[in-house]
Amino acid sequence: MQEKEDKKNTVIIGCDHAAYQLKEKIKEFMVSKGYSVEDVGTHSESSVDYPDFGVQVASQVSNGTYQRGILMCGTGLGMSMVANKYSNVRAALCTEPFSAGMSRHHNDSNILVLGGRITGEELAYEIVDVWLKTAFDGGRHQSRIEKFSRLGKAGE
């Protein structure tokens, strides 16, 4: 039970080779802010297939093992597509802090997606900080999330 609780307070993070350097910086930033991070890779700049890492993060957010995750690839587009295939996942590709905050306020996003080739380090820190600190507003937004959650996923 304690291990499951610890994981709920940990952010799971994954990336492909194109975002490896940014992931390492984001991990340092998050730890410096007091967050726990579970890194599922990749662990180098050697070429890998981004879906392998997107699946690891999205599946564990989908099943409730982790409440939140961060995914990164070159543009963030591929990881967004992979993550949003999973039930209960609301992955948001954010390129600036405003959309990161709104993705939490209105959409209760539970996976933040960043593009390692398009988002600079300092901007990424701002985006992550806003996303982690912003709460879901609930209320009228909850019914909207429930509405699109009922749509299901392809193949279900």
Q: How many domains does the chain have?
A: 1
Model pLDDT for residues 42-71, shown as the tens digit of each residue = 999 999 999 999 999 999 999 999 999 999
Q: Determine the pLDDT at residue 84.
A: 95
Q: Determine the pLDDT at residue 11.
A: 98
Output the six-digit token pair for 128. Answer: 């992550």
Domain that holds residue 130: 2-149
Three-class HEC string of the chain: CHHHHHHHCEEEEEECHHHHHHHHHHHHHHHHCCCEEEECCCCCCCCCCHHHHHHHHHHHHHCCCCCEEEEEECCCHHHHHHHCCCCCCCEEECCCHHHHHHHHHCCCCCEEEEECCCCCHHHHHHHHHHHHHCCCCCCHHHHHHHHHHCCCCCCC
Question: pTM value?
Answer: 0.91
Q: Determine the pLDDT at residue 155.
A: 44
Q: Determine the pLDDT at residue 150.
A: 67
Is 46 within a domain? Answer: yes
Is 145 within a domain? Answer: yes
Q: Determine the pLDDT at residue 78.
A: 98
Q: Determine the pLDDT at residue 146.
A: 76
Is 155 within a domain? Answer: no
Give the pLDDT means over successive 10-residue stretches in the chain (156 positions): 61 98 98 96 97 98 97 98 95 98 94 98 98 84 74 52
Find the Cα–Cα–Cα–Cα dihedral 70, 16, 18, 8, rounded to 10°. Answer: 20
Is 154 within a domain? Answer: no
Q: Determine the pLDDT at residue 143.
A: 74
The residues assigned a catalytic role are 73, 106
Is 23 within a domain? Answer: yes
Could you tell me how far CA 119 lies from the centroid of its own chain? 15
Is 24 within a domain? Answer: yes
Q: Determine the pLDDT at residue 156.
A: 47
Q: ∠20-54-93 over CA atoms, to 5°?
A: 80
Is 156 within a domain? Answer: no
CATH number at residue 24: 3.40.1400.10
Is 116 within a domain? Answer: yes
